[in-house]
Structure 1
Amino acid sequence: MRKSPAVEFKAAVVPTGDETIVTLSFGTGTRAAVKKFDLSKADFAPTDLTSELLYVLEAKSAVEAESRNLNRRLDAARKAAEQVAQTDALTGLQNRRAMTQYLGQLIASRVPFACMQMDLDFFKKINDTFGHAAGDYVLRAVAQVLNSETRAEDCVARIGGDEFVLIFVRVTDPVFLQRIAQRMIARLEEPVQFDQYVCCISASAGTSISIDYPNPDPDVMLSDADRALYASKKAGRGQHRFAKDHQSALSKR
C-alpha cells in the first residue's frame, strides 16, 4: 500500500512583549501538503507567498504533463513512420528493407532459419490480359495465402513485382519445408476471381537453410535460394527446390 508523503512544517516565533506570535508554513513541503490535504488557493491568506508558489507548481505540472503527451505522440509517430518504411504498400507485407534487417538479426543472434524465395508463374499474363488492377488484386490474394501459412515470428516480404521471400524461424527440416512449399504452391494454383475474370497463376520456389552454411551470409543465402528457384522454373514451374542437396532426406520420408 502506497503511503502518503510526509508533510513538514516550518515555524517562525516572534516575541512581542507579553505575547508571542507564531507563524507556521509548509516551506518546501508545500507541494506534498497540497496533495495530501487537497488544498487550494482559498486555504491561504492573500498575503501568503505560498499562493505564488502554488501557481508555479501548477504551471510546472501542466508543462510536464504536456511534455509527456508530446513525447508519447512523437514516439507513436516515429513508430508509425518506421512501420510504413518497412511495409509494402500494396500487399501489407514487409518489404526488402525489413526482410534484410530481419535476416541480419537472425544471423547475428545465431538463430537457425530457412530462407525461401518465391516467384509467381504466369503473373505477367494476368497484367497483360486483364490489366494491372487484376494483377494488384492477385498479389493481395497471394499475400493472404502466404500470411496464413506462416507464423507471427516468420517474415513474409514482397521484394519485387511478383517476387517474395519467406523466412521461417527455427525451421530447418527439409521434409517439413518441402511440405510447406508444396502446400503454398497448391493453394496459389487455385483460380482467383476478379470481377468477371478468372485469374490463374502458379509459383516456383527455392530454399536455402542456415545450418547448411558454416557462416551464414544473407546475400549468399538469398542468391542460393534464387538459383534454386530458377531451377524449379526450369524443371517445369510450380515446383520447389533446395539450394543444397537434400534429396536423400526427402526420399526417406
Structure 2
Amino acid sequence: MNIGAPVNLKACKPRACSPDLLGRVNLLDMDALSAFMPMHMVVAMDGRILRAGPTLRKLRPEGGLIGGMFFDLFEMRRPRGVTDIEALPAQDGGRVSIVFRDGVRTHFKALAAKLSCGRGILVNLSFGISVVDAVEAYDLSSRDFAATDLAVEMLYLFEAKSAAMSESKKLNQRLQGAKVAAEEQAFTDTLTGLKNRRALGHVLDRLEATGVPFGLMQVDLDYFKQVNDRFGHAAGDEVLQVVARVLVSETRECDTVARVGGDEFVLVFQRLVDTELLQTIARRIISRLEEPVPYEGNACRISCSIGIATSESHPGVGSETLLEEADKALYASKHAGRGRCMLARPEAGSVPDG
C-alpha cells in the first residue's frame, strides 16, 4: 500500500448530499488525515501498522510503531478475545478499548472503520478522560491534538487549574510566612531581639504543663538609670543590646532569654535545676556586665542583680509563684549591695551566693 497516496475512506451517503460532493469528501489525503486525526493508524488486514498520525508516533519516539503488529503492541480491553483485525469494525460499532503492552501503559479509546479499498482499517485513537495524565507522561501540548478535539479544551482547563493552584500555593506560602513573621514579632522584643513577656508566658506554661524541670533567673540591671540620665536613651539602648548579647551567649539554644521590662530580664533554663551551676552562670553574667560599654567615646558602666529559683526547690508551685520567688531573691540581692546573685529557698528565705 502506498502510504503517501490519498486513502479512500468508506462513508455513508447522506440523503441531502449530491454525488459530486460525496466524491470530494470520500477521498481524504494523508496530510489532512493527520491534521484532523493526529492519533490515527492505518492497519493492514494482516495486522501490520502501515501508517500512524504524528501524535501517535510521538508516543513511541524510539520507533517500532510503523511496521509493528497491532496485537503485539496493543492489548485489547474491549471487545475481549478479538485477534483478527478485520473483526474490529464489526464489533460494537467499531468502538475499541486498548492499552500499550509495554512502557507507559496508556489507555486509549478508539474507533475502527474499514477502508473502502478493502485492504485495511482506519483506527482513530483518543486518550479519553486520561488526557491530562497522558500529556504529562508524553510531554504533549495542544499542538498534538486536532483543533476541534475536546481534549484541547480539557488541556486549557488543566493549565488554568494548574496556574491557579500554583498561584494559590504561592499565596498560601506568603500568607504562612507573614503569619510566622507576625507571630514572631508578637513574641519578640523589638529593641533587643529577645523574647518578650508574652513569649515567656507561653514557655513557662508549656514547661509547667509537661512537667519539665527548669531553673529561673530574674535579672535586673544596676545603675542603668544613671546611663540614661547622663548619656541619653540612645546610650541606654546600646547598653540593653549589649546585655542581650551577653545573656544569649551565656545560655543554651534550648533556654529562653526574655526582656520583660525596661531593664528587667528573665532567663529560663530547661532541665537545669543544679543551683550550684546556676549560681556559677549568674556570677559569670554579673562579671561580664560590669565591663564598661563604650558609646560615642563614653564608658557606660552598669552591673546587675540576680535572683534564682528552680522548680525542684519549689515543688508543686506554679510558674507565676516561682517567678515571684525569684523576684524576691533578686531584690534581696539588691538590698544586700547589688552586683550579686541570691538563691530563693522557701524553707529559709533568700540565700546569698557564697
State the TM-score, normalizing by the size of structure 1.
0.92
Partner of 1:103: 204
Q: Aligned partners of 1:5, 1:160: CA distance in 2, in Å?
A: 67
Partner of 1:205: 306
Partner of 2:107: 8
Give the partner amino acid of 1:202. Answer: S
Shift of 1:200: 0.7
* Matched residues, number: 247
> What SS is found at the alignment partner of 2:192?
coil
Q: Aligned partners of 2:104, 2:309: CA distance in 1, in Å?
A: 62
Task: Call closer, same or farther: CA 1:120–1:5 in 2, change over 3 Å.
Answer: farther
> What SS is found at the alignment partner of 1:212?
coil
Give the partner amino acid of 1:143. Answer: A
Shift of 1:21: 4.8
Shift of 1:113: 0.5
> Structure 2 unaligned runs (5+)?
1-102
Shift of 1:72: 0.6
Give the partner amino acid of 2:106. Answer: V
Q: Aligned partners of 2:276, 2:244: CA distance in 1, in Å?
A: 24
> 1:5, 1:32 within 8 Å by CA — same for their partners in 2?
no
Equivalent of residue 167 in structure 1, options 268, 276, 280:
268
Partner of 2:295: 194
Q: 1:175-204 CA distances to partner (integer Å, 9 max, x unpaired)?
A: 100100000000000111111211111100
Task: Call closer, same or farther: CA 1:113–1:140 in 2, change over 3 Å.
Answer: same
> What SS is found at the alignment partner of 1:92?
coil
Q: Aligned partners of 1:179, 1:5: CA distance in 2, in Å?
A: 69
| Paired-residue identity, % | 51
> 1:112, 1:210 within 8 Å by CA — same for their partners in 2?
yes
1:243 maps onto 2:344 in alignment: yes
Task: Call closer, same or farther: CA 1:5–1:31 in 2, change over 3 Å.
Answer: farther
**Aligned residues: CA RMSD:** 2.0
Give the partner amino acid of 2:258. Answer: A
- Name which of structure 1's ranges 120-129 and 213-222 shifts more when overlaid on structure 2: 213-222
Task: Call closer, same or farther: CA 1:33–1:118 in 2, change over 3 Å.
Answer: same
Q: 1:33-73 CA distances to partner (integer Å, 9 max, x unpaired)?
A: 11111111111112211111111111111111111111111
Q: Aligned partners of 1:180, 1:147: CA distance in 2, in Å?
A: 12
Shift of 1:11: 1.6
Map 1:119-198 to 2 at 5 A. 119-198=220-299
Shift of 1:215: 2.1
Which 4+ stretches in 1 moved above 3 angstroms? Answer: 13-22, 245-248
Q: Aligned partners of 1:243, 1:150: CA distance in 2, in Å?
A: 20
Q: Aligned partners of 1:134, 1:213: CA distance in 2, in Å?
A: 39
> 2:218, 2:264 within 8 Å by CA — same for their partners in 1?
yes
Task: Call closer, same or farther: CA 1:29–1:242 in 2, change over 3 Å.
Answer: same
Q: Which has the larger radius of gyration?
A: 2
> What SS is found at the alignment partner of 1:9?
strand
Shift of 1:10: 1.0
Q: 1:79-108 CA distances to partner (integer Å, 9 max, x unpaired)?
A: 000111111111111100001100111111
1:37 maps onto 2:143 in alignment: no
- Name which of structure 1's ranges 140-149 and 238-247 shifts more when overlaid on structure 2: 238-247
Shift of 1:170: 0.9
Which fold has the larger relative contact order, with Cα–Cα distance below 8 Å and residues 6 or more apart in sequence?
Answer: 1
Q: Aligned partners of 1:96, 1:14: CA distance in 2, in Å?
A: 80
Q: 1:205-251 CA distances to partner (integer Å, 9 max, x unpaired)?
A: 00110112332411101111000000000111111111115999x77
Partner of 2:331: 230
Q: 1:108-151 CA distances to partner (integer Å, 9 max, x unpaired)?
A: 11111101100000111111111111111111110111011011
Task: Call closer, same or farther: CA 1:13–1:215 in 2, change over 3 Å.
Answer: farther
Partner of 1:77: 178
> 2:329, 2:350 within 8 Å by CA — same for their partners in 1?
no
> Structure 1 unaligned runs (5+)?
none
Shift of 1:27: 0.7
Q: Aligned partners of 2:343, 2:115: CA distance in 1, in Å?
A: 100
Equivalent of residue 163 in structure 2, options 59, 62, 65:
62
